[in-house]
């Protein structure tokens, strides 16, 4: 078995770094000795996460408060990604929100804000990163997508469609980036215990225990896959098996199964 390639020397930028999967990415990358740029909206939580990883792992940490559902927030983070001093070698596009409302029941502005964050910020930040990283001939991008992107969803239809875009976009870019020294992975977790569902005010009481994943495990598998050159990473055997079923069953059967949940 060949050893995984060493981590890149430059900074790693993590969006949504203060909670859930982003906090797991932050701690794991810091444990590898990576210097970090942490992005989220809430400055106090960013400072607290920065202090924690500086103390534990003696790494350099910048905090960059930004609302990535806005053009200004995206522009500020894209500018940091393009910066040549303290270059960003790893971009983790992780910040995202859900909207557990029937389409039409939630205001259009809420649907739009979710797409601006879950899709728009991934587009803008990846654009900046591909430019800067290909010029240096090195880098890695992990776009946190979701298994939701593989199945039609009633209550979260816009969310699922957005994640389908993130996966397809990442997969397409992997073809363009081949041989450039820059790799890209769409990380597609299933249900993961984080703040995500509480923020979306989702009632998850009907979700069976076996479907819940641990954020640290998702991140460990996602990073290992990214470094092994896996373009679409689906952590855990149970979700890999579910996706095999989704791919082999007729789409009408998939829709029927999903509609009964
Ligand atoms: N949890 C799951 O079951 C699950 C499953 C599949 C995929 N995912 C995906 O995984 C990613 C991370 O989700 P999570 O479950 O870790 O969520 P989480 O625990 O709710 O954490 C969300 C993070 O994103 C930040 N954030 C939220 N809105 C933002 C904005 N407008 N601009 C910048 N930062 C923002 C939050 O900080 P602030 O509020 O301070 O900004 C926080 O740091 C998302 O893309 C999600 O779609 C989650």
User: Is residue 94 in contact with ligand 1, taking CB distance under 6 Å?
Assistant: yes
User: Is residue 117 in contact with ligand 1, taking CB distance under 6 Å?
Assistant: yes
Whether the predicted pLDDT of 4 surpasses 60 = no
Residue 243's contacts (CB-CB under 8 Å, 6 or more residues apart) are 147, 150, 234
User: What value does the mean pLDDT of the chain take?
Assistant: 95
| pLDDT tens track for 158-191 | 999 999 999 999 999 999 999 999 999 999 999 9
Protein residue with least CA distance to atom 36, ligand 1: 16
Strands (E), 135-250: 139-144, 182-187, 232-233
Q: Which ligand 1 atom is at minimum distance from the Cα of 145?
A: 7
85 to each of 26, 80, 176, 234, how far by Cα in Å? 21, 9, 26, 34
| pLDDT tens track for 206-236 | 899 999 999 999 999 999 999 999 999 999 9
Whether the predicted pLDDT of 3 surpasses 70 = no
Distance CA 174, CA 57 (A): 32
Distance CA 60, CA 96 (A): 25
User: Is residue 26 in contact with ligand 1, taking CB distance under 6 Å?
Assistant: no
Q: How is the beta sheet containing 36-40 ordered, strand by strand?
A: 61-65, 36-40, 11-15, 88-93, 139-144, 182-187, 232-233
Please tell me the distance between residue 96's alpha carbon and the centre of ligand 1 in angstroms. 4
**222, 142 in Cβ contact below 8 A?**
yes
Distance CA 64, CA 72 (A): 13
Residue 177: count of CB within 10 angstroms of its CB:
19
For residue 144, give both structure tokens.
């946190």
Residues with a catalytic annotation lie at 159
Distance CA 230, CA 184 (A): 8
Please tell me the distance between residue 18's alpha carbon and the centre of ligand 1 in angstroms. 9
User: Is residue 191 in contact with ligand 1, taking CB distance under 6 Å?
Assistant: yes
**200, 153 in Cβ contact below 8 A?**
no
- In the prediction, which pLDDT does 2 show? 55
For residue 149, give both structure tokens.
């992107």
Whether the predicted pLDDT of 155 surpasses 90 = no
User: Is residue 144 in contact with ligand 1, taking CB distance under 6 Å?
Assistant: yes
Whether the predicted pLDDT of 5 surpasses 70 = no
Protein residue with least CA distance to atom 8, ligand 1: 146
Query: In the chain, what is the straight-line distance between the N-terminal and C-terminal CA atoms, in Å?
Result: 42
């Amino acid at each position: 078995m060949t050893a995984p390639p060493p981590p890149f020397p430059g900074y790693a930028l993590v969006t949504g770094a203060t909670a859930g999967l982003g906090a797991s990415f932050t701690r794991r990358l810091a444990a590898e000795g990576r210097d970090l740029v942490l992005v989220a909206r809430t400055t106090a939580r960013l400072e607290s996460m920065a202090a924690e990883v500086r103390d534990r792992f003696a790494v350099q940490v910048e905090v960059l408060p930004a609302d990535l559902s806005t053009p200004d927030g995206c522009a500020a983070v894209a500018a940091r990604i393009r910066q040549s001093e303290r270059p960003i070698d790893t971009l983790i596009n992780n910040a995202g929100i859900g909207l557990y409302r029937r389409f039409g029941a939630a205001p259009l502005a809420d649907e739009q804000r979710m797409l601006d964050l879950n899709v728009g910020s991934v587009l803008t930040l990846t654009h900046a990163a591909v430019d800067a990283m290909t010029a240096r001939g090195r880098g890695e991008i992990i776009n946190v997508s979701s298994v939701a992107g593989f199945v039609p969803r009633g209550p979260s239809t816009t969310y699922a469609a957005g994640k389908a875009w993130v996966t397809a976009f990442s997969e397409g870019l992997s073809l363009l980036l081949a041989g450039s020294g820059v790799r890209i992975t769409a990380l597609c977790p299933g249900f993961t215990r984080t703040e995500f569902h509480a923020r979306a005010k989702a009632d998850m009481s009907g979700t069976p225990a076996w479907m819940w994943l641990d954020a640290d495990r998702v991140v460990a598998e996602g990073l290992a896959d990214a470094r092994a050159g896996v373009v679409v990473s689906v952590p855990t055997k149970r979700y890999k098996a579910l996706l095999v079923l989704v791919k082999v069953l007729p789409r009408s059967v998939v829709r029927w199964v999903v509609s009964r949940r």
